[in-house]
Amino acid sequence: MPSLVGQKETFTLRIRSEDQWGNPSGKQPVELFPTANAPLDGLPASLLLADGHATAVIEGLRPTATGDLLIELRDRDGRRVAVSNAMSIVKEIPQNRLYWADFHAQSGETIGTNAAEDYFAFARDTAFIDIVGHQGNDFQITAEFWKQLNELYDRFDEPGRFVTIPGYEWSGNTALGGDRNVFFAFSGQTIRRSSHALVPDHSDLATDCHTANELFAAIRQGGEDVITFAHVGGRYADIGVAHDVAIETAVEVHSSWGTFEWIVNDAFDLGYRVGIVANSDGHKGRPGAEGPGASMFGAYGGLTCLQLPELSRGAIFEALRARRHYATTGARVLLDVTVSFTGGAQQFAADPVLGPTTHQPVTRAQMGAIVHTEAETAVISIAASALASSPIERVEVRNGRETVAVHRPYGAAQLGRRIRVIWSGAEYRGRFRMTPWDGRAVIDGNAFERADPVNFFNPDRPLHREGEQALSWRSITTGNFSGFDATLREADAGRLRIETAQGKLDIAVSDIGYQPLSFAFGGLDRKLVVYRLPDINDCLSVAFDQAVALQADRDNPLYVSVFTEDGHQAWSSPVYAIPRPDWL
């Protein structure tokens, strides 16, 4: 469903049927029975996904009251088979609505599968996203395919309904700057490749840019309306080697390759003021709904949510330059962050590092803003709210690298017999970052009454029950996290022993509590974490205000990260509270 609608507006519900691997599947007729958690006009009592059809559309739905809406689908036996993303129904629509994008994936003409035309159709008609880009490896894009791509960009672009963003992936090696996603405001622009390695026609060789810094220089010299993202794929971006403040607006924290908070922290350490995005970089021609499959990918593809006054290329570019967006691991979580400044602040129209820019006094700043405050007390308040279709486990409030507060929708007194075991991290930053976590958990003096996997994406590698006292699994992480929830027969009895390919631990069940127990295993933030949850957490929304003390001598990138119980994560783009610019 749309994430945000007005009380008197109609909207469309779209449904996709998938097999266990995440492929669209319509191999048998399925009758479904939708129900809503709030009054909703136009919702049918049942619907049929006919044989051969993987999608269904229900138009003309109208909410009758403000609030939060979810729609469930149940089968004939009353079992819930799906739940929609959460929708916020408001009395008056704000200036900006929420639109969902996958800026970064490939089709069969480069390293992926399926034709480019099918790629765009899938994004619009099967993944149900609002915005899509196509990011073929530049060294595989021939002049003929570049022409075809630009024709497809314009044919599928329909402002107000579905928008395409022209572009390609500059695919230089890490030592030369690393992968960059390049986006144009208009079609028909010059492709500046990192090389012609797989392009036999060398007639446009002079336009090649062999380093990321050469790419940025050529874009500036040409006066082109271009935006880039720093991408972590096979040739991860080194933003210390190359970055352009005016051109590179964001870093990509998550894709099918995994989760990469380290590149966000690199940007903070280097003093860059960037937004945070997530995309799929899928190679199966399925932008917006890309499962990892069984090869070298280790995560479900991400999405970026943009706050836009209208759905158009121009509005998208404006939002990207203002960092008015947030990232998720694929779930359509609603997230809002506002920072309030006691004594007021100055908000800049552009990054002050570029030189003098217009500024205006504000007392509150929205996601992505760059502000300076000289209030006597350098304490601000972060107001954050999140709404999801899965229970929210926690929200972390961060100032750059530092987590300054953690908000959970439950207290220690509500904890029960359920524990969560999570493993995460990677070998290193490069292509073969996959970390194996194959292992086993044994509980002595107690029993597992139930065990549920978290982020087990590969059906060939399930979580196994071995009687009442043991679990086993095969699992990898690529910077992201996996694990399991286990409900114990007794809350505090016995000991939990875990053996993994990375190491072992042995802890008393009574020591597992509200605060996580974290065990480091080297590599790139490889760790295993154990903590306790309530037996039932039905909190789908959180809202809070958090006071944060600012550091006067450095940038303060103020943002939040949301974790949901089904294994998804979201990151807001920061509000940057910065020292006074020299020119101000």
Q: Which residue has the tokens 């690529």?
A: 478
Which CATH number covers residue 114? 3.20.20.140
Are 239 and 113 part of one and the same domain? Answer: yes
Q: Is 89 domain-assigned?
A: no
Chain segment 422-438, per-residue pLDDT in tens: 999 999 999 989 999 99
Count CB atoms within 10 A of the CB of residue 488: 22
Strands (E), 172-290: 180-184, 226-230, 248-255, 258-259, 275-278
In whole angstroms, give the CA distance from residue 215 to residue 221: 10
Q: Is 134 domain-assigned?
A: yes
Of 307, 332, 357, the last residue of a domain is 332
Which CATH number covers residue 425? 2.60.40
What is the maximum span of the chain, computed from C-alpha positions, in angstroms? 73
Task: Look at residue 234 in the predicted model and tell me its pLDDT.
Answer: 87
Are 114 and 213 part of one and the same domain? Answer: yes
Q: Is 43 domain-assigned?
A: yes
In whole angstroms, give the CA distance from residue 506 to residue 162: 52
Are 314 and 355 part of one and the same domain? Answer: no
In whole angstroms, give the CA distance from residue 237 to residue 230: 6
Are 58 and 131 part of one and the same domain? Answer: no
Cβ within 8 Å of residue 334, ≥6 positions away: 3, 4, 86, 88, 98, 385, 386, 387, 388
CB crowding 420-433: b at 16 or more within 10 Å, else e: bbbbbbbbebeeeb
Average pLDDT of 340-349? Answer: 91
Q: What percent of the chain has pLDDT over 90?
A: 90
Task: Look at residue 451 in the predicted model and tell me its pLDDT.
Answer: 97
Chain segment 131-146, per-residue pLDDT in tens: 999 999 999 999 999 9
CA angle 21, 27, 33 (to 5 degrees): 90
Task: Look at residue 376 in the predicted model and tell me its pLDDT.
Answer: 57
Task: Look at residue 119 in the predicted model and tell me its pLDDT.
Answer: 97
Total number of domains in the chain: 4
- Reading the block at residue 262, the tokens are 């380290």
Task: Look at residue 342 in the predicted model and tell me its pLDDT.
Answer: 84
Are 141 and 253 part of one and the same domain? Answer: yes
In whole angstroms, give the CA distance from residue 196 to residue 143: 11
In whole angstroms, give the CA distance from residue 477 to residue 461: 13
* Domain containing residue 558: 337-408+539-577
Average pLDDT of 81-93? Answer: 95
In whole angstroms, give the CA distance from residue 387 to residue 381: 20
pLDDT band at 297 (very low <50, low <70, confident <90, very high): confident
Task: Look at residue 192 in the predicted model and tell me its pLDDT.
Answer: 97
Q: Is 127 domain-assigned?
A: yes
pLDDT band at 378 (very low <50, low <70, confident <90, very high): low
Q: Is 92 domain-assigned?
A: no
Q: Is 91 domain-assigned?
A: no
Are 174 and 315 part of one and the same domain? Answer: yes
DSSP symbol at 358 = -
Are 527 and 458 part of one and the same domain? Answer: yes
319 beta partners: none
Chain segment 458-470, per-residue pLDDT in tens: 998 999 999 999 9
Are 266 and 198 part of one and the same domain? Answer: yes
Task: Look at residue 374 in the predicted model and tell me its pLDDT.
Answer: 81
Q: Is 90 domain-assigned?
A: no
- Over the chain, what is the mean pLDDT? 95
Chain segment 102-121, per-residue pLDDT in tens: 999 999 999 989 999 999 99
Of 84, 114, 144, the last residue of a domain is 84
Of 84, 116, 140, the last residue of a domain is 84
- For residues 159 and 127, the answer to whether their CB atoms sit within 8 Å is no
Chain segment 362-375, per-residue pLDDT in tens: 999 999 999 999 86
Are 316 and 191 part of one and the same domain? Answer: yes
Are 265 and 326 part of one and the same domain? Answer: yes
Are 127 and 269 part of one and the same domain? Answer: yes
Task: Look at residue 11 in the predicted model and tell me its pLDDT.
Answer: 97
